[in-house]
Amino acid sequence: MSDKLVLNEMFYSLQGEGSLAGVASVFIRLAGCPLRCKWCDTKYAWDEKAGKEYSLAEIVRFIEQQPAGHIVITGGEPMVSADLPALLDAVAGMGSHITIETAGIKYLPGLKCDLMSISPKLSNSLPADEKLRQEHAKSCLDMEAIKKLMDEYDYQFKFVVDEREDLNEIAEIVDKLKPNPDKIMLMPQAVNTAEYISRAQFVAQACIRSGFRFSPRLQVILWNSQRGK
């Protein structure tokens, strides 16, 4: 493979979600995602050609220039990118903690990854367009792929909660997968601060009842989902 690959964007900010929320991190966003989730806040990364070409050396140099030792590989959907293994090979020797953000729609073995951050897509994510809904429904929840990711990697689950009815769907998934309860996080569906505030309280109450963890979304709270933050 070439030592060049297309990144949608690369930036330095705070991890906004999950167990590492608040940790300064380099974000490497790969392009391309087949799901087209209704509430997706990175629609600009859906097209696999949406981005700019970087050499692996340029990516490593950018990471070296930042003071923090955490890297987040995100998307799009990184697990469907042919460039993912080469990218991980290039950055794994830097001594940084590596998180991969994924919907869990594909299993890849042997990746150089410290944390597999899995966000299974619920029915609340179905696109409005009927053709896209059909394609989404076929691939948005691969239980076997998720089980394999859980078996091979340290993991966390982040469930996006839009309505109270979503909690029943989450309970069904959790019952089938039986993950460590301490690795299960609920977070409000929100693409702006107003949406976050409107849903945060009932999601927090759901966490109190279930014993799951509440995940903030700092990119929404602090920067109103501004790109590159």
Domains of the chain: 4-178 (3.20.20.70)
The pTM of this model reads 0.95
CA–CA distance from 99 to each of 74, 102, 194, 224, 227 (Å)?
8, 10, 28, 23, 19
Q: What number is the average pLDDT over the span 102-128?
A: 94
CA distance 176 to 190: 27
User: pLDDT tens across 135-184, in order?
Assistant: 787 778 899 999 999 999 999 999 999 999 999 999 999 999 999 999 99
Residues 9, 40: contact at Cβ < 8 Å?
A: no
Interacting residues of 136 by C-beta distance below 8 A, sequence separation 6+ = 35, 36, 37, 121, 125, 126, 127
The torsion defined by the Cα of 26, 30, 31 and 33, in degrees rounded to 10, comes to -110
Model confidence at 132, in pLDDT bands (50, 70, 90)?
A: confident
CA distance 186 to 177: 16
CA distance 31 to 45: 5
Tokens of 100: 């991969």
Tokens of 13: 């900010």
User: pLDDT tens across 70-106, in order?
Assistant: 999 999 999 999 999 999 999 999 999 999 999 999 9
Instruction: Look at the alpha carbons of 4, 10, 43, 163 in this order and tell me if their dihedral is positive or negative.
Output: positive
Q: What number is the average pLDDT over the span 60-68?
A: 96
Question: Dihedrals φ, ψ of 61, to 5°?
Answer: -65, -40
R_g of the chain computed on alpha carbons = 17
CA distance 35 to 77: 9
Tokens of 117: 């951050």
Closest CA to 28 of 38, 1, 17, 58: 58
Look at phi and psi of residue 95 and say left if phi exceeds 0, alpha if psi is from -120 to 50, else beta.
left
